[in-house]
Amino acid sequence: MPTRTVARTLASLTIASFAFAFVAFIAPAAEAKESKSTQNEAQWIAFDAAAKTVTVKIMKKGNGPNAKLLKTKEDVAFNVIPEGSVLTRTSVAINGVKGELKDIPAGKTVLLYWVPDPNKEGQFFARKIDVVFSEEELDAKYGTGEE
């Protein structure tokens, strides 16, 4: 019986060691790669398909870990991936429906979810862009509901 107890103890210690190694070394690397997005409200300026960038004017202070990197009323360029896997490309939602960067008109209000670009130091990457409709635009599109 003592041999079984020793074997179980060694097995438990081995499993615990692997768990510790994962939590201490592997998990932080994955977390660094997938940092949390910062959200800003911005005014859409343009999409440059050749350069794979979008330019916006930041309108409201951001929410998120990198909010201090951008200032309101400044024009900022964000790198984008317009096509590809849903896991890697910049996703676009127009009134909750999948859209494309080329479909966003200049002057439109957008919510931009971004991170520092992991491939280009000092630049930003837009993960997701949501187009925001004004009350007037929603009323024109769907009616006011008053009859």
* pTM assigned to the model: 0.71
> What's the whole-number mean pLDDT along residues 130-137?
87
Residue range 61-79, pLDDT digits in tens? 999 999 999 999 999 999 9
Residue-level pLDDT at 135: 84
Residue-wise DSSP of 50-118:
TTTEEEEEEEEEEESTTGGG--TT-EEEEE---SS-TTTSPEEEETTEE--GGGPPTT-EEEEEEEE-T
